[in-house]
Structure 1
Amino acid sequence: MVRCIFRRAPPSPLDAAYRTDTVLALAAQMYESRDFSAMPILADALQDAGCDNADVLDHCRDPEGAHARGCWVVDLVLGKE
């Protein structure tokens, strides 16, 4: 869980084109509910939107990753700092 929260985001911000309605809805739902079981689905949605950042996609798809509010990928998608 520590890696989820304290992992540094990629140096550049997430491309606005990747923030589709689906991506934003998934991220917001996980953030609000604190249920991060949809992280692999978020990875698929980001990839469908054109995201090819391996750090982002691998983090979402990590089968051993425990995610929590403050997850750097969800925060990146939602524009939180």
Structure 2
Amino acid sequence: MRDIFGDLFNPAALSPEWITDTAVALSREMYHSRDFSAMPILADALQDAGCDSKIVLAHCRGPGPHVRGCWVVDLVLGKS
């Protein structure tokens, strides 16, 4: 449930400047393929774009499980 909704008591957001073409491409591929093994790479892409959100980065680098509907992927894709 946490993969889909995140931490309801400590919600996170993404700054628009963090949503780069690379982050969108990675998120789109994971969303469509349902293969979320690139989540740590997404964390790197977000961090390279200036993301300093410990919540977002920890979620992406965490063990998961990650599923379609992952709140970080949905934020990057503008689905939430």
Q: Structure 2-normalised TM-score?
A: 0.89
Partner of 1:34: 34
Whichever residue aligns with residue 36 of structure 2, its letter is F
User: 1:77 and 2:71 equivalent?
Assistant: no
Once the 2 structures are TM-superposed, how far is the Cα of residue 6 of structure 1 from its aligned partner?
2.4
Q: Where does the alignment leave 5 or more consecutive residues of structure 1 unmatched?
A: none
Partner of 1:15: 15
Query: RMSD of aligned C-alpha atoms?
Result: 1.1
Whichever residue aligns with residue 75 of structure 1, its letter is D
Q: For residues 24 and 5 of structure 2, what CA distance do their matches in structure 1 show?
A: 21
Once the 2 structures are TM-superposed, how far is the Cα of residue 16 of structure 1 from its aligned partner?
1.2
Percent of aligned positions that are identical:
65
Q: Structure 1-normalised TM-score?
A: 0.88
Once the 2 structures are TM-superposed, how far is the Cα of residue 61 of structure 1 from its aligned partner?
0.2
Once the 2 structures are TM-superposed, how far is the Cα of residue 73 of structure 1 from its aligned partner?
0.5
Q: For residues 57 and 73 of structure 1, what CA distance do their matches in structure 2 show?
A: 9
Q: For residues 35 and 44 of structure 2, what CA distance do their matches in structure 1 show?
A: 17
Count of residue correspondences: 77
The superposition leaves residues 8-61 of structure 1 with CA deviations (integer Å, 9 ceiling, x where unpaired) of 441xx4111111110110000000110000000000000000000000000000
Partner SS, residue 44 of structure 1: helix
Partner SS, residue 26 of structure 1: helix
